[in-house]
Structure 1
Amino acid sequence: MEAVIDIAAIDNDQMLLEGMTTWLFRVPDIRLVRTATTVDDFLGRPATARIVLLDLNLEDFSDPVQNVSALVAAGCTVIVVTVVPDPSHILTTTEAGAVAYVQKSANLTALAEVVRAVARGESPLTADHAFWLGRDDRPGRPRLTPREREVLVAYGRGMTLDAVGRLLGIAAGTVRTHLERVKRKYSTVGRPIRHRGQYGERVREDGLGR
């Protein structure tokens, strides 16, 4: 029998929460066990669910980055959901520790697949998430592709070329090619990578490890 994944949702949209609860009755492996309208309310009462769906813009005008940081610090795994994508908030909440981003326009089946992937310990990259991450044009930050980010994070954490290749399902030579592109892009913005340890430094400096 498949293990049931308990999730929580922090959102002001009561209609959405009720609809999600009703729909999940038909999904045997995912159960919505807790809802809240603010992060403070959620953290103020014990919850068994460690995977949290967090609306990007709550009606209490709380800061999205602080919300993600508080939930991550409490041991939660955060999936950000929103109606209108805000590029700056998507980038900064990802850096704060959100492992996935889903637009509310996506269907619930797609959301369920993201939840399952997160429960397996993955950081699933939806097409929308990849689109906005690829357009990070803040000063001093190179514009890395999603694959370049994945390679940089894995290699920066100390994995070998072969290990990174096995993790991502690509050849070691392809990993090396991506790393060369990463080096060129960091050099272009005035932050050259001159030795192996600086790959990890760039990961930490830019909050890329999720």
Structure 2
Amino acid sequence: MITAVVVDDHPAVTAGVQAWCGLADPPIKVLATGRNVSVAWLEPGRSADVVVFDLQLDVSGPAYGDLKRLVDAGRQVVIYSMRADRETVLTCLDIGGFTYLTKAEGEDHLVAAIQAAAAHTPYTPPVLSGAFGTDNRPHRPQLSPRESEVLLEWFHSESKEMVARRLNLTVRRVNACLERVRIKYANVGRDAPTKAALVARAIQDGLVRADEL
């Protein structure tokens, strides 16, 4: 069973998320809820597969620091926020959040995002897709044709071994290409430590469209 912890300071929101998760197919078990991020660090929330995280926990501004600490610890974080501006959305993805939803996007998208995060498969809801489509920031790494080919093939494959077979490469060569891509993104301040993060970067940079995945 997929498990989640919900970090949100609005009781009605946490109650709604719990109800939606309980009705999911298969059900998602919410291990804990809380008004601040400590609930994700303490048991039972510490053991959850996915953190559903309200970015705006108080009036001081977006909780980017809390998000980064969760990401640095290897947590799969679904940001669930009232904020819908492009800069906030893209900043959360640059930090390493798994995906970003607004609270207006509702039950179907949130449940699907939690399921995707637990399975480490990409998920792009409408607001995130719109932010990607209008991202015109200049700091994009220059990938070689081979690096781009390997990266895009990996998005459509279940394993690196499958990529190697399809492109007539060794697995070692595939790993080397993907590592170079990660390094190039890190060098421009846009770390992509996971497959989902690389998908996000590729969509941002126009290498692939969300509807092609």
The interval holding the TM-score normalised by the smaller chain is: 0.5 to 0.7
TM superposition shift of 1:165: 4.2
Alpha-carbon contact 1:38-1:60 (below 8 Å) kept: no
Instruction: Write out aligned runs for 1:29-48 (5 A).
Output: 29-44=27-42, 47=45, 48=47
- In 2 relative to 1, CA 122–197 (structure 1 residues): closer, same or farther, beyond 3 Å? closer
Which 5+ residue runs of structure 2 have no aligned equivalent?
158-162, 164-177, 198-213
> Could you give the per-residue CA deviations for residues 3-49 of structure 1, whole angstroms, max 9, x where no partner exists?
x1000111111101112223333233311111111124532555220
- In 2 relative to 1, CA 203–20 (structure 1 residues): closer, same or farther, beyond 3 Å? same
* Partner SS for 2:16: helix
CA distance in 2, matches of 1:63, 1:107: 21
CA distance in 1, matches of 2:17, 2:7: 12
CA distance in 1, matches of 2:112, 2:179: 35
Residue identity in the other structure for 1:51: V
Structure 2 equivalent of residue 122 of structure 1:
121
Structure 1 equivalent of residue 22 of structure 2:
25
Is 1:97 the counterpart of 2:96? The answer is yes
CA distance in 1, matches of 2:74, 2:115: 18
- In 2 relative to 1, CA 105–37 (structure 1 residues): closer, same or farther, beyond 3 Å? same
Figure out how many residues of one structure are paired with residues of the other and give that number: 171
- In 2 relative to 1, CA 50–120 (structure 1 residues): closer, same or farther, beyond 3 Å? closer
Alpha-carbon contact 1:8-1:53 (below 8 Å) kept: yes
Q: TM-score, normalised by structure 2?
A: 0.67
CA distance in 2, matches of 1:53, 1:66: 16
- In 2 relative to 1, CA 24–160 (structure 1 residues): closer, same or farther, beyond 3 Å? closer
Q: TM-score, normalised by structure 1?
A: 0.67
Alpha-carbon contact 1:64-1:89 (below 8 Å) kept: no
Alpha-carbon contact 1:81-1:102 (below 8 Å) kept: yes
Which 5+ residue runs of structure 1 have no aligned equivalent?
143-148, 173-195
* Partner SS for 2:6: strand
Structure 2 equivalent of residue 168 of structure 1:
155
Structure with the higher helix share, 1 or 2 = 2
* Partner SS for 1:8: strand
TM superposition shift of 1:90: 1.3
Identity of aligned residues (%): 19
Larger radius of gyration: 1
> Could you give the per-residue CA deviations for residues 126-155 of structure 1, whole angstroms, max 9, x where no partner exists?
2211211232344x435xxxxxx9x96xx7
TM superposition shift of 1:201: 4.6
RMSD: 3.3
